[in-house]
Structure 1
Amino acid sequence: MWRQEADTWKTKQTPSIKHARDSGSERALFTVKIAFALWGVRTMATADSFTKITIKRNGDGVTEFDAYVLGEAGAPGIVVIQEWWGVDFEIKNHAATIAKKGFRTLIPDLYRGKVGLDAAEAKHLMDGLDWPGAVKDVAASAKWLKENGSKKVGATGFCMGGALAIAGAVLVPEIDAAVAFYGSPDPGLADAATVKKPVQAHFGELDNFKGFSDVGAAKALEEKLKQSGAPHEVYIYPKVGHAFMNASPEAVQRGKTLMGFEDLNTEAVDLAWSRFNAWFSKYLSA
């Protein structure tokens, strides 16, 4: 059932992405890019407990990609799918948060090592993504988790990863449930009306990525999930926009500086994580 939260949180209005990109000088942008490169090194250095593995994609047995695993073998598995930036510090932060909740996480590197340092680079990488191929990466990741001790496996993702998490629920037999954050798949890739697995989705009221993760996209997804008959929940959080789950200081600053996003809303973040945990605890239990 679609749910809109009570309007109780206070954050500022989200400016347009164009305004955010036009408002700073090239020198300032260059400085920010260098800072994020350093932040990424520093933050990822704290993530030494991730194990880097190589997975062969299902089907051809030839295409390989790197992935990052964290959590105890035998725990329910969750494929954690990147935003348009790539496998950066924040997606690892998300995977670490999830692992602390008792899951085994696996991040597939869909960009094959590339990371966008500003919105234009990230958009270029996402525009060049082989989306059906990315679904195959998700499938291979889920299969790896099941072959390595996880009896049930979910998929979650953020931004483009949210869209791929839903696509995985539609197209990947090994996926048992999904939670998507501010992203919905193109019906040409995966029609959510045909999903048979439980899907939970989270969106921000101020999200302005029209047709992908704005309120209209959230409501359209809800209608498709109703048609599917699968268990589902769709939440829209007031006074937050796109990427509202990115809570590290580095990610908050990046969102505000490069994308024009609003301030961090910890109440929304905590509530979304609690719902995430309840959903996967229910549907990934053995």
Structure 2
Amino acid sequence: MRYPLFGAALMAFSAFAHADIQTQEIPYTAADGTKMVGYYAYDDAIEGQRPGVVVVHEWWGLNDYAKSRARDLAGLGYSALAIDMYGEGKNTEHPKDAMSFMKAALADADAAKARFNAGLDLLKQQQQTDAAKLAAVGYCFGGKVVLDMARQGVPLEGVVSFHGALATETRAAPGIVKARVLVEHGSADSMVSAEDVAALSAEMVKAGADYQFVNLPGAKHGFTNPGADKFQEKGVDVAYNKAADERSWNDMQRFLDETFDSSRP
């Protein structure tokens, strides 16, 4: 098992200890009163606090895939919480419903930020979480959410977008992006235009952000999700790509290692 470089406490942990991933659903409430459900995961073989990572789901909602990514992050030694951006943990496999849920969640930028922050606060409250070391990763819709949180200066050390939507109504102002940013994008993603890619890069440069963009050859939207292919028959241009999935996950591990490494300048 590979662990992040985040301090002496974890370095002292034996590499031969058996990982036992603990999970639980935790109810919480957004600022607007919406009832939310978080899915929390951590490795109880690790003693003490460790960096926390928020996971933001695809446009399908808080489903098994989002939860599996929280468990994967826990297996890397993080305190991981898959948050709920739609309310009541709802999710769907129907594109029209997913589009409706997503539009409603993004209709008010301040409300979306408040929902994210409610989940972030919940992660901070977990005893395993080092609240001074926080990051967020997001998939599809969730990729846009974490990028927007970076654009708005939410206090995170890093954000990672996997096949995320890149367009935004709110451009990052110079100096506001505090988080390091990694974008993992499929070169064959029909849902993101070349103009959106160029605009994001220009925006990040102008904002002075610590920004990395990875273009994954031949990968379509949804390339990290092994269950993506089943949605093709519903007219959604998504597909799993094992090579892109593995490469982007490895990129994320290196990125988080560097981000949380206390010796980083």
Task: Return the TM-score normalized by structure 1.
Answer: 0.72
Distance (whole Å) between structure 2 residues aligned to residue 192 and residue 182 of structure 1: 24
Aligned residue number for residue 189 of structure 2: 207
Q: Deviations over 1:65-120 (max 9, x none)?
A: 22111014622111100111001111112222222111111111111132122211
Question: Paired residue for 1:272?
Answer: 248
Shift of 1:185: 5.3
Residues 135 and 190 of structure 1, relative CA distance in 2, 3 Å threshold: farther
Identical counterparts, % of pairs: 23
Q: Which amino acid aligns with 1:87?
A: L
Deviation, structure 1 residue 140 = 2.2
Q: Could you say what secondary structure the match of 1:87 adopts?
A: coil
| Match in the other structure for 1:124 | 100
Residue type matched to 1:232 in 2? Y
93 and 191 in structure 1: CA distance in 2 versus 1, 3 angstrom threshold: same
Q: CA RMSD in A?
A: 2.4
Aligned twin of 2:161:
180
Unpaired runs of 5+ residues, structure 2, are: 1-20
| TM-score computed with the length of structure 2 as normaliser | 0.78
Of 63-72 and 198-207, deviating more is: 63-72
How far does the alpha carbon of each residue in 1:151-188 deviate from its partner, in whole angstroms, 9 at most, with x for none?
A: 31101101110011011223254322100112245543
Sort the Cα spacing of 1:204 and 1:185 in 2 relative to 1 into closer, same or farther, 3 A: closer
Distance of 2:165 and 2:179 partners within structure 1: 15
Aligned to 1:103: 78
Q: Tell me which of 135, 138, 142 is aligned to 2:120.
A: 142
In structure 2, the CA distance between the partners of 1:50 and 1:242, relative to structure 1 (3 Å rule), is same
Amino acid in structure 2 at the alignment position of 1:55: Y
Residue 25 (structure 2) pairs with residue 52 (structure 1):
yes
Helix, strand or coil for the counterpart of 1:278? helix
Residue 131 of structure 1 and its aligned partner are, at CA, apart by 4.1
Could you tell which deviates more after superposition, 132-141 or 256-265? 256-265
Structure 1, unaligned runs of 5 or more: 1-47
Between 139-148 and 155-164, report the one with greater CA deviation. Answer: 139-148
- Alignment partners' CA distance in 2, 1:190 and 1:53: 33
Map 1:237-248 to 2 at 5 A: 237-247=216-226
CA apart distance, 1:63: 4.8
Could you say if the C-alpha distance between residues 246 and 143 of structure 1 is closer, same or farther in structure 2, counting changes exceeding 3 Å?
Answer: same
Task: Identify, as 1 or 2, the structure richer in helix.
Answer: 1
1:1-16 equivalent positions in 2, closer than 5 A: none
- 1:203 partner letter: H
| Displacement after TM superposition at 1:51 (Å) | 1.1
Pick from 249, 254, 257 the counterpart of residue 230 of structure 2.
254
Q: Given that residues 81 and 156 in structure 1 are in contact (C-alpha distance below 8 angstroms), is that contact kept between their aligned partners in structure 2?
A: yes
What amino acid maps onto 1:158 in structure 2?
Y
Structure with greater strand share of residues: 2
Number of matched pairs:
231
Q: CA deviation at 1:216?
A: 3.0
- Matching residue within 230, 236, 257 for 2:209: 230
Moved more, 260-269 or 147-156: 260-269
Q: Distance in 2 between matches of 1:263 and 1:187?
A: 24
Contact 2:42 2:78 in 1 (8 A): yes
Deviations 1:236-270 (A, max 9, x none): 111111010112xxx13423333454653222111
Counterpart code for 2:41: L
The aligned amino acid for 2:215 is I
